[in-house]
Amino acid sequence: MLLSYFQNFAKYIRQKWRGNESKRRGFVIKFMVICVTWFTFVLICAMKKVQLFIHNINESGLVNEQALRFNSLDAA
């Protein structure tokens, strides 16, 4: 679904700026930079949330490092 959205968007851009390649190319580059920036921002936010979640679990004592170490030794 997302791929078809981008394909339709590309068709729209081609039709809108037909014959004006430099303007179209500049817009596509700006659009890609914005997409990459937002993707990076969302990824960093998600990683920070996961890190905070793991830190809260460790602080609450629900996960004991020794228990994790022994479980990993038993599995091996």
For 2-60, how does the pLDDT look when each residue is reduced to its tens digit (9 = 90+)? 678 878 887 887 787 777 777 777 888 888 899 899 999 999 999 988 887 777 776 66
**pLDDT value at position 42?**
93
Measured at the CA of 41, the angle between CA 36 and CA 45, to 5 degrees, comes to: 150
Is the pTM here over 0.75, yes or no?
Answer: no
* CA angle (19 as vertex; 16, 20 as ends), nearest 5: 75
Greater pLDDT, 63 or 43: 43
Per-residue b or e along 24-39, where b marks 16 or more CB atoms closer than 10 Å to that residue's CB: beeeeeeeeeeeeeee
pLDDT of 36: 92
Boundaries of every domain in the chain: 17-75
Question: Measured on CA atoms in the order 47, 53, 56, 58, is the torsion positive or negative?
Answer: negative
